[in-house]
Amino acid sequence: MDGGGVAPTTTASWLARHREMYKRATRHPFTVSIRDGTVDLAAFKRWLGQDYMFVQEFVAFLASVLLKCCKQSESSDMEIILGGLASLSDELSWFKKEAAKWSVDLAGVSPLSSNMEYRRFLQSFGEPEISYTVAITTFWIIETVYQDSFAFCIEEGNKTPPELLGTCQRWGSPEFKQYCQALQQITDRCLANAPSDAVKSAEEAFLRVLDLEVGFWDMSSPERQQNPQKPSTVQLLE
Ligand SMILES: Cc1ncc(CO)c(N)n1
């Protein structure tokens, strides 16, 4: 119980229990190097091309989440998820403009292994067996990792290069934070009404996303890609 005697929500308890893993995902050397102005622009360009490919897969993932929502949940959830799906159209246009600015040929980008692993994970949500609770939890933490990572790059005292501020503001903005908080409220409502096996699966998905996000940031720098894959947290739990 916190000082006010209110039990923490499930997502708050996970963020506390797995704070080290969460920090590895949201204070990664790549995003910290953006904040302190030492980022290697080749790493940024590699991230840009790979994230464009991720977002292309994210569209289908979000459609899967929306379908699961429509089959069982409240219409207010549907409108929030639909808003996220609709925003991806503008996001893909943003990637194309940003790639042109940095002379990144998106047509010539192929997914690196960490991206292919993440995309396979997203594709698995097309399976009807995966519950809406697990799907909305996954959507919430995917968005929250980016919001927290890039908010850090535009916080007081940052030395983020001016030419990268647009990228950081895209995901680091207070408006996107509000959107992530809305997703967190939906997630906690679903978890509070879910059977224990669904809650366990949702926590495993939460940890899997953190692991995949670390791998995704690692991909931006070749030297970090070569690190042997340590067992992911979920594998350790199995
Ligand atoms: C890898 C990754 N995670 C999260 C987001 C946020 O949508 C993104 N664009 N890319």
Q: Is the minimum distance from the CB of 14 to ligand 1 under 6 angstroms?
A: no
pTM for this prediction = 0.92
- Pairwise CA distance, residues 41 & 51, whole Å: 15
Domains, the chain: 10-226 (1.20.910.10)
Q: Is the minimum distance from the CB of 150 to ligand 1 under 6 angstroms?
A: no
- Structure tokens belonging to residue 169: 């503001």
- Pairwise CA distance, residues 138 & 236, whole Å: 19
Torsion angle in degrees (nearest 10) through CA of 99, 103, 107, 113: -80
Residue 69 Cα to ligand 1 middle (Å): 21
- Structure tokens belonging to residue 176: 């996107």
Q: Is the minimum distance from the CB of 216 to ligand 1 under 6 angstroms?
A: yes
Return the pLDDT at 104.
Answer: 98
Active-site annotation holds for 163: no
Mean pLDDT of the chain: 93
Instruction: Report residue 93 CA to chain centroid gap.
Output: 19
pLDDT confidence of 227, banded at 50, 70, 90?
A: very low
- Pairwise CA distance, residues 149 & 130, whole Å: 28
Q: Which residue's CA lies nearest to atom 6 of ligand 1?
A: 143
DSSP readout, 33-96? HHHTT---HHHHHHHHHHHHHHHHHHHHHHHHHHHHHHHHS-HHHHHHHHHHHHHHHHHHHHHH
Q: Which residue's CA lies nearest to atom 10 of ligand 1?
A: 51
Determine the average pLDDT of the residues in 134-154.
98
For 166-198, the pLDDT digits (tens) are: 999 999 999 999 999 999 999 999 999 999 999
Torsion angle in degrees (nearest 10) through CA of 78, 80, 81, 87: 140
With the most atoms of ligand 1 within 8 angstroms of its CB, the residue from 216, 217, 220 to mutate is 216
Return the pLDDT at 238.
Answer: 41
pLDDT confidence of 7, banded at 50, 70, 90?
A: confident
Identify the three-state secondary structure at position 230. Answer: coil
- Pairwise CA distance, residues 119 & 96, whole Å: 20
